[in-house]
Amino acid sequence: MYRHLAARVESGELASNTPLPSERRLATDYGVSLGTARHAIRLLSYHGLVKTIRSKGTYVAERLSLRSEAKEVDHG
């Protein structure tokens, strides 16, 4: 589940600020326990791929494109 969601975020399939389904919904969709879904979300958050806002939900984090990062390195 973590790898699949991470790949979707990194590929841009899930755009910045897109809300993720609830943990319960993810658990059901992936056929895993609620604890496993929560752990996957924590890992995604730890790696900066998502952000969780209390009482609001979990959203895909804003990420700079590789092209933007390269420009900053060249001009920074």
How many domains does the chain divide into? Answer: 1
Kindly report the CATH number assigned to the domain that includes residue 30: 1.10.10.10
SS3 of residue 68 by DSSP: helix
SS3 of residue 50 by DSSP: strand
- Residue 63's pLDDT is what? 76
Residue carrying the six token digits 């399939």: 13
Higher per-residue confidence, 2 vs 73: 2
How crowded is the C-beta side of 37, counted as CA atoms within 13 Å?
16
| 64 band by pLDDT with thresholds 50, 70 and 90 | low
Residues linked to residue 53 through DSSP beta bridges, in sequence order: 57
Q: Which domain holds residue 67?
A: 2-75
Averaged pLDDT for residues 60-76: 58
pLDDT digits (tens, 9 = 90+) for 25-53: 999 999 999 999 999 999 999 999 999 99
